[in-house]
């Protein structure tokens, strides 16, 4: 299947692109940011640079595609003013309306558990447990609201364009299994707001692909795609009793059973967040620009607000105000570095720079395809970006500048 994938350069998009290519699909990756030049090209991958706030750009980008996986968005409330709401509500409508115009029948769009009114809300309220897709949504902030609007847009579009099928996938915190300790260690005053959940990357990848390839439902449907267990050492029933004593208990929950029920996705398109998802994702790295088409001359000038949101963008969705672990360097440094330096730098997470100026590269850098194995050389380095870790103030080095001759010589 030829799948258009919006937000392909993002944290989730890179993984889903890899999974789709691995499953034999062709991917048209769309983003308003340039792809990471370090990523390997793939013959079934095309990159289109487009700002999806522009409807015509969306139409051009999706032409010839059979399905859309829509991820492009600002993934947190930012400064709680207007950027997230206004960007997301426009992008999601443009994607859906362009799909209708082009006769694209299948769309899976990234909603969020925050549509309920969760992590970013001042206060949370749940009527009953386990929470399911019938539960009322009560966001009080622009991000969750933009997801609620996106879901309403899908209701409207499928009401009129009956050939379309739209799945809104309500992801939880999209993590690699190696991050699970962060879920367990999140302070309760934060964790209770999103009901102690998470979605492993491999499970999220499968959910998006199944949502456009499997099952035979019609119209628009909402689905939670969340792990069946909570990330807490305390029993689910005890946590609910403590934080939501007035909620109706519709079904007694076993020891660590999730407080949010995702069984609808299994009934509709055969998805389950299996236990073996704990083994991690085998998704190939997101492909990069095999062929780059410039759909719009340049992305729209970013406002200060958008920049503020983007600085937070790659932190886990639920951790913008939180501190549950090291902020991944690869994902924060690009916005932190001045443009010129960025061009010259190989960005390496949690790089160790020794006193003698040599660098040891951690294996995750290769696994994440941030750098190619052949580029791993011990060379003279000049640290160009230090910062304190968001959680523990420990000083971490974000990037090193690498002499191109050193790599060539190797």
Ligand X SMILES: NC(=O)c1ccc[n+]([C@@H]2O[C@H](COP(=O)([O-])OP(=O)(O)OC[C@H]3O[C@@H](n4cnc5c(N)ncnc54)[C@H](O)[C@@H]3O)[C@@H](O)[C@H]2O)c1
d(CA 21, CA 362): 26
Q: Shortest approach of ligand X to residue 31 CB, angstroms? A: 5
> Minimum Å distance from CB 55 to ligand X?
11
Measured from each CB, the residue nearest to ligand X is 10
Spatial contact of 20 and 86, defined as CB atoms under 8 Å apart:
no
In this structure, what DSSP letter does residue 375 have?
Answer: G
Q: How far is the CB of 167 from ligand X (least distance, A)?
A: 13
Chain Cα centroid distance, residue 65: 22
45 to 8, 35, 107, 205, 288: CA distances (angstroms): 11, 12, 19, 17, 7
Q: Judged by CB, which is closer to ligand X: 304, or 382?
A: 304
Do 301 and 57 touch, CB atoms closer than 8 A? no
Q: What share of the chain is helix, strand, coil (3-state, %, to 5)?
A: 35, 20, 40
Q: Are 259 and 131 in contact (CB under 8 A)?
A: yes
Give whichever of 72 and 365 is closer to ligand X, judged by the CB atom.
72
What are the distances in angstroms from CA 94 to CA 6, 13, 51, 143?
12, 18, 10, 18
Please report how close the Cβ of residue 242 comes to ligand X at its closest, in angstroms.
Answer: 25
Please answer whether residues 359 and 376 qualify as being in contact, where contact means their C-beta atoms are separated by less than 8 angstroms. Answer: no
Contact criterion met (CB below 8 Å) for 201 and 175? yes
Q: Nearest distance from residue 124's CB to ligand X, in Å? A: 16
* 110 token code pair: 């990234």
Report the residue number, 12 or 345, with the smaller CB distance to ligand X. Answer: 12
When the beta carbons of 36 and 263 are compared against ligand X, the nearer one is 36
- Output 52 or 361, the one with its CB closest to ligand X: 52
| Integer Cα distance of 242 and 153 in angstroms | 36
Contact set with ligand X (CB under 6 A): 7, 9-13, 31-33, 51-53, 71-73, 75, 87, 91, 110, 112, 171, 173-174, 313-314, 316-317
> Smallest gap, in angstroms, from Cβ of residue 257 to ligand X?
21
> Least distance from C-beta 54 to ligand X, angstroms?
8
Which helix (H) or strand (E) segment holds residue 263: the answer is helix 263-269
Nearer residue to ligand X within complex by CB, 28 or 376: 28
Q: Which of 26/312 has CB closer to ligand X?
A: 312
């Amino acid at each position: 299947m030829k799948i258009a994938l919006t937000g392909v350069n993002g944290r989730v998009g890179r993984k889903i692109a890899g999974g789709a290519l691995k499953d034999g699909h062709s991917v048209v990756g769309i983003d308003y940011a340039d792809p990471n030049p370090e990523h390997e090209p793939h013959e079934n991958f095309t990159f289109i640079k487009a700002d999806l706030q522009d409807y015509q750009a969306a139409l051009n980008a999706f032409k010839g595609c059979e399905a859309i996986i829509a991820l492009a968005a600002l993934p947190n409330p930012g400064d709680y003013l207007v950027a997230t709401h206004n960007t997301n509500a426009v992008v999601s409508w443009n994607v859906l309306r362009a799909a209708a115009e082009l006769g694209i029948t299948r769309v899976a769009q990234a909603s969020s558990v925050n549509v309920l009114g969760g992590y970013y809300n001042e206060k949370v309220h749940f009527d009953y447990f386990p929470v399911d897709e019938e539960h009322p949504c009560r966001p009080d902030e622009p991000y969750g609201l933009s997801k609620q609007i996106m879901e309403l847009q899908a209701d409207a579009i499928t009401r009129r364009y009956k050939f379309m099928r739209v799945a809104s996938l309500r992801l939880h915190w999209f993590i690699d299994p190696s991050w699970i300790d962060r879920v367990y260690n999140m302070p309760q005053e934060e964790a209770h707001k999103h009901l102690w959940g998470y979605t492993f990357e491999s499970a999220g990848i499968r959910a998006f692909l199944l949502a456009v390839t499997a099952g035979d439902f019609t119209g628009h449907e909402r689905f939670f795609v969340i792990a069946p267990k909570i990330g807490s050492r305390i029993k689910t029933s005890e946590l609910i009793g403590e934080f939501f004593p007035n909620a109706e208990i519709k079904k007694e929950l076993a020891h660590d059973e999730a407080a949010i029920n995702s069984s609808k996705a299994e009934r509709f398109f055969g998805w389950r967040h299996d236990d073996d998802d704990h083994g991690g994702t085998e998704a190939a790295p997101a492909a990069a620009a095999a062929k780059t088409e410039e759909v719009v001359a340049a992305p729209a000038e970013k406002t200060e607000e958008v920049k503020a949101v983007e600085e937070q963008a790659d932190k886990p969705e639920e951790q913008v105000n939180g501190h549950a672990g090291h902020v991944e360097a690869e994902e924060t440094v690009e916005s932190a570095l001045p443009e010129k330096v960025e061009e010259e730098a190989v960005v390496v997470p949690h790089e160790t720079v020794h006193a003698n100026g040599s660098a040891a590269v951690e294996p995750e850098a290769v696994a994440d395809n941030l750098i190619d194995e052949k580029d791993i050389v011990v060379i003279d380095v000049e640290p160009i970006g230090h910062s304190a870790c968001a959680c523990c103030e420990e000083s971490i080095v974000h990037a090193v500048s690498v002499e191109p001759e050193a790599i060539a010589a190797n």
